[in-house]
């Protein structure tokens, strides 16, 4: 198991961590199995989407802000970061990616992103690779 530390710079940011997850898979020595990517934070998430065109991430950020605005007088959570909790809950804190021939089986344009919703902070991403060497 490996832990990746990622420093975010804004309240909402998306960090492509694909290369870091690939390094954990390589280090594990697993040739065939599963890679679990888990974020142990209630105001962050992890997801897979297109990594080639940065406009895709801009559009995701825009849509989340529109659907779940940071400011809303109806939010009850006393810390003032309800939107971050809601966004994290909707996107999710883990993903599983197959590993074959020692490589992540991501699609051509796919990338793995850490989503920060309550930054800037240092976040941990837990990577567990399970399988046969």
**3-class SS letters over 57-102:** HHHHHHHHHHHCCCCCCCCCCCCCCHHHHHHHHHHCCEEEEEEECC
Q: What is the pLDDT of residue 99?
A: 98
What is the CATH number for 37? 2.60.120.460
Counting the structural domains of the chain, the total is 1
Residues in the chain with pLDDT values less than 70 = none
Q: What is the pLDDT of residue 73?
A: 86
Q: What is the pLDDT of residue 9?
A: 95
pTM, entire model: 0.96
Q: What is the pLDDT of residue 120?
A: 98
In terms of residue numbers, what domain contains 53?
A: 2-132
For 82, phi then psi, to 5°, come to -55, -40
Q: What is the pLDDT of residue 115?
A: 98
């Amino acid at each position: 198991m490996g832990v990746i530390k990622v420093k975010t710079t804004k309240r909402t940011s998306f960090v492509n961590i694909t290369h870091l997850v690939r390094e954990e898979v390589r280090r594990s020595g697993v040739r065939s199995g599963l890679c679990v990517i888990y974020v142990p934070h209630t105001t962050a998430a992890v997801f897979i989407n297109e990594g080639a065109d940065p406009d895709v991430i801009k559009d995701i950020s825009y849509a989340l802000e529109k659907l779940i605005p940071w400011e809303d007088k109806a939010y009850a959570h006393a810390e003032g970061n309800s939107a971050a909790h809601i966004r994290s809950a909707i996107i999710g804190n883990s993903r599983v990616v197959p590993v074959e021939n020692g490589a992540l089986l991501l699609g051509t344009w796919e990338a793995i992103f850490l989503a920060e919703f309550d930054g800037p902070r240092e976040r941990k991403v837990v990577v567990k690779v399970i399988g046969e060497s």
